[in-house]
Amino acid sequence: MPNLHIVAEPPMTQRLVQSGAFAEDPLVVVDVGARGGVEWFWKVFGDGVRVVAFEPDPEECARLQAAGEKNVTYLPLALAAGRGTRTLHVGQYPATSSFYPNDPAWCGRFDVGDVLRVQSEIELATTSLRDALAGKRADFLKLDVEGAELDVLRGADLQPVLGLVTEVRFTEKMSGCPAFADLDNFCRAAGFDLYDLDLYRYSRRALPYPYLYDYHDDAGRPGPGPTVQGQPLVGDALYLRDGLTAGQPVKLACLFEVFGLSDCAAETLKAHRAVFAQWADPDLLLDLLVPPVKDERLSYADYTARYAAGDRLFRPTSGRRTPDPIVSHYDGVFTPSWSPPPPPPTGLCERLRRWLTGKMD
């Protein structure tokens, strides 16, 4: 997680980092549910990022801390809405352990059901994110706590937070945890908007589809996971604040770019040019945000002018976009396939087309 549209080398962000935009005020990322380590893409900020990561499994937390990642602190704390004690239901795969036990009868209808079974239970002391941070600010949150994400958000100070990415579940039937609709309502009430959503589908045992990933357990044994088709059970949701009105526009624009939303980054930059001008020429930054189109790179001025003029550069090539009905594999990039254009109409259909387009002889 997340399996969203990540830009591996965001050029505008790289330029701002090089210019010292985060030297005195680093981006503060809080990772809740950090098993396996923090996300790789935060490294683009170099020394301009600080990550505070929470992992309730003490052995995993100690292993991660021993790795000595620069600017990353791991804490062996279990987060919830507040202080108390909760039962952690430990799954066959440690990453599936949750405060919300999966329903074995309902989950058993899916190919992945066996690995979602509860193996044991332990009692954990919990605290809120607000108390765990002890007054320190968080700019961005990453939440992956197997259904307890809304509980963590209810115990957080969200006022300074610019955005968050969270695992979501689309049905209460899975474990009785809050569903996506509940979390979405909470986030929107807190001033965030949904900017991206990725789905993980799982097929029924009656006719399982091929796997999307080649999952293996800690012993190297292959295991089930998301499938290329099936019912969407979980996903990743990206929430961010509005770039026109939120504070910290430089940080927010970089978050937009990192998550593949260069249009939102450009809108934020144009609305706060004076702030960006402290670190780099805003026009240069806009040029860096412009994506290549059909292998052609344009300046921001040329791009917007040609777009406004209806340039064919921004239209599909001849043919129809026809994605495969079932994606055979996932490589991080959706590449559309192009079929040949349909044969030209003949007879009455052709005469009608020419009449509608004003091309009658």
Q: CA 70 to CA 54: how far, in whole Å? A: 16
Give the per-residue pLDDT at 213. 84
Surface-to-core class of residue 151, CB atoms within 10 Å of its CB (0-12 exposed, 13-18 middle, 19+ buried): buried
Give the per-residue pLDDT at 287. 98
- Give the full edge-to-edge strand order of the sheet including 27-32: 72-75, 49-54, 27-32, 140-143, 163-169, 231-240, 193-202
* Those residues with Cβ within 8 angstroms of residue 305's Cβ, 6 or more apart along the chain or in another chain: none
Domain covering 11-240 assigned CATH 1.10.287 in the classification: no
Domain with CATH 3.40.50 in the chain: 11-240
Give the per-residue pLDDT at 319. 57
Helix (H, G, I), strand (E, B) or coil at 228: coil
Give the per-residue pLDDT at 94. 86
Give the per-residue pLDDT at 86. 97
Q: For 62-73, write each residue's pLDDT tens digit.
A: 999 999 999 999
pTM attached to this predicted model: 0.87
Identify which of 215, 186, 183, 180 has the alpha carbon closest to the alpha carbon of residue 199: 180
Give the per-residue pLDDT at 216. 77
E-state strands within 80-117: 84-91
Q: For 182-224, write each residue's pLDDT tens digit.
A: 999 999 999 999 999 999 999 999 999 999 888 777 677 788 8
Give the per-residue pLDDT at 318. 67
Which residue ranges of the chain lie beneath pLDDT 70? 1-2, 218, 318-361
Give the per-residue pLDDT at 341. 44
Give the per-residue pLDDT at 326. 44
Give the per-residue pLDDT at 315. 85
